[in-house]
Amino acid sequence: MISLIDLKRQYQNISQEILDSVKEVFESGQYILGTKVAEFEKKCAEYLNVNHAIGVGNGTDALVIALESVGIGKGDEVITTPFTFFATAEAIVRVGARPVFVDIDPLSYNIDPDKIEEKITERTKAIIPVHIFGHVCDMKKIVQIAKKYNLYIIEDACQAFGAEFEGKKAGTIGDVGCFSFFPTKNLGGFGDGGLIVTDSDEIASKARMLRQHGSKKKYFNEMIGFNSRLDEVQAAILLVKLKYIDSWNRRRIEIAQKFSQELKLDGLVTPKKCNSFEFGHIYHLYILQHEKRENLMEYLAQKGIATGIYYPVPLHLTKALSFLGYKEGDFEIAEKLCKKSFAIPMFPELTDEEIEYITTSINQFGGSLQ
């Protein structure tokens, strides 16, 4: 069986380095916010070319803390996409604000910048563009809109570590960027982890306080915060993995190019890269569309090829967000994509033989189950 992502292969390639790094933590006796987290934050800030990087417990907390750090709360509206992982909207609701959805662009699958302005009201405080599947949003247009209406941009870059737009790394184009190190993300730990990045001293200082019970100095709490710190052990692992991120992203791009060149099945829609930057799409996931998705997925399962659906339900139709009052038909492009798209295996360690097996299997699909 070729799985969607095989994390064990990556570990096998770098196991000694990981074990050495983790051992240093175990032997240090310093398990919360020690030298590994500090070093990882510094290395991330350098790599991303941003002033501040703050390790937090996970990507969801990164979003919640980022929103609070720029002062978003009750009564505020935040514009985002309905085609994302639930956490994007969950974080907005968690701080007391209201998610306002804007449909996606049918080619990029990212929020359609041309539909943002019509959703802006006097309560709108921020836009959360999500670089879905590692494909960077059209940040030029989004930055223009944010400037015109004086809105914050909080980038959900949870699927896009190392992706770029016009020479800047995803997550560093807006006011704040949020990353997740969930194991299956393109930069993933061996557990939960997250990161907030910003050039603003003020936002950084607030985020640093919020992750630690609202305190700069222990027991001198200045505000109500969270207990949400990047774990020292995860930082030790991520420090090793950070060295490989460019080569892994490059391999993802190479695999995606092979897939897109070789896949020829009638009616199959392959991902479209909507910018010209080398790392403008780092293919956190490789997403296809087909009218007979269910049949094709079952056929591939019989061939020993795993598939998955990202995402089966657009956020405006989830039960949890039904209180927002959206209905079916409100965001037709996102809804259609949820019905037709599916992911095939994508991870840097996929072999050329596996890539070929996957493409020939898909190309041989006869339309129904054989």
Ligand X SMILES: *Cc1c(COP(=O)(O)O)cnc(C)c1O
Q: Which residue has the tokens 């949020």?
A: 178
Q: What type of residue is 245?
A: I
Tell me how far, at minimum, the Cβ of 19 lies from ligand X, in Å.
24
> Which listed residue (80, 124, 172, 180) binds ligand X by CB under 6 A?
180
- 280 binds ligand X per the rule CB under 6 A: no
Task: Give me the phi and psi of 263, to 5 degrees please.
Answer: -75, 120
Stretch that binds ligand X, among 17-25, 54-62, 97-105, 212-220 (CB under 6 A): 54-62
Stretch that binds ligand X, among 58-66, 68-76, 223-231, 320-328 (CB under 6 A): 58-66
> Strand, helix or coil at 321?
helix
Stretch that binds ligand X, among 10-18, 154-162, 261-269, 354-362 (CB under 6 A): 154-162
Local structure of residue 313 (DSSP, 8 states): S
- 194 binds ligand X per the rule CB under 6 A: yes
Stretch that binds ligand X, among 36-44, 156-164, 241-249, 257-265 (CB under 6 A): 156-164
Contact 48, 243 (CB under 8 A): no
- 84 binds ligand X per the rule CB under 6 A: yes
Of the candidates 198, 135, 194, 196, which has an alpha carbon nearest to the alpha carbon of residue 164? 135
Q: Is 185 tagged catalytic?
A: yes
Question: How many degrees, rounded to 5, is the angle at CA 61 between CA 56 and CA 66?
Answer: 90
Give the chain's radius of gyration (CA, Å).
21
Local structure of residue 332 (DSSP, 8 states): H
Q: In sequence order, which residues have a C-beta less than 8 Å from that of residue 173 and are 6 or more positions away?
A: 139, 143, 153, 155, 165
Tell me how far, at minimum, the Cβ of 330 lies from ligand X, in Å.
20
- 161 binds ligand X per the rule CB under 6 A: no
> Which listed residue (2, 5, 87, 237) binds ligand X by CB under 6 A?
87
Tell me how far, at minimum, the Cβ of 62 lies from ligand X, in Å.
7
Task: Give me the phi and psi of 221, to 5 degrees please.
Answer: -80, 125
Stretch that binds ligand X, among 13-21, 23-31, 53-61, 204-212 (CB under 6 A): 53-61
Q: For residues 182 and 299, which CB has a smaller minimum distance to ligand X in the complex?
A: 182
- 105 binds ligand X per the rule CB under 6 A: no
Stretch that binds ligand X, among 24-32, 56-64, 219-227, 362-370 (CB under 6 A): 56-64
Q: For residues 59 and 348, which CB has a smaller minimum distance to ligand X in the complex?
A: 59
Tell me how far, at minimum, the Cβ of 66 lies from ligand X, in Å.
11
Contact 272, 133 (CB under 8 A): no
Local structure of residue 278 (DSSP, 8 states): T
The single residue of 125, 185, 206, 241 carrying the catalytic annotation is 185
- 88 binds ligand X per the rule CB under 6 A: yes
Q: For residues 60 and 124, which CB has a smaller minimum distance to ligand X in the complex?
A: 60
- 361 binds ligand X per the rule CB under 6 A: no
- 155 binds ligand X per the rule CB under 6 A: no
- Residue 150, classified by CB atoms within 10 Å of its CB into exposed (0-12), middle (13-18) or buried (19+), is exposed
> Which listed residue (81, 159, 228, 249) binds ligand X by CB under 6 A?
159
The DSSP line for 208-250 is: HHHTBTTEEETTEE-S---B---BHHHHHHHHHHHTTHHHHHH
Question: How many degrees, rounded to 5, is the angle at CA 28 between CA 26 and CA 30?
Answer: 90
> Which listed residue (130, 146, 195, 235) binds ligand X by CB under 6 A?
130
Q: For residues 284 and 290, which CB has a smaller minimum distance to ligand X in the complex?
A: 284
Long-range interactions of 144-153: CB distance < 8 A, separation 24+: 145/113, 145/116, 145/117, 145/120, 146/174, 149/117, 149/120, 149/124, 151/79, 151/120, 151/124, 151/125, 151/126, 151/127, 152/70, 152/72, 152/125, 152/126, 152/127, 152/176, 153/126, 153/127, 153/128, 153/129
Tell me how far, at minimum, the Cβ of 343 lies from ligand X, in Å.
13
- 182 binds ligand X per the rule CB under 6 A: yes
Contact positions vs ligand X (CB under 6 A)? 58-60, 84-85, 87-88, 130, 156, 158-159, 180, 182, 192, 194
Active-site residue set: 185
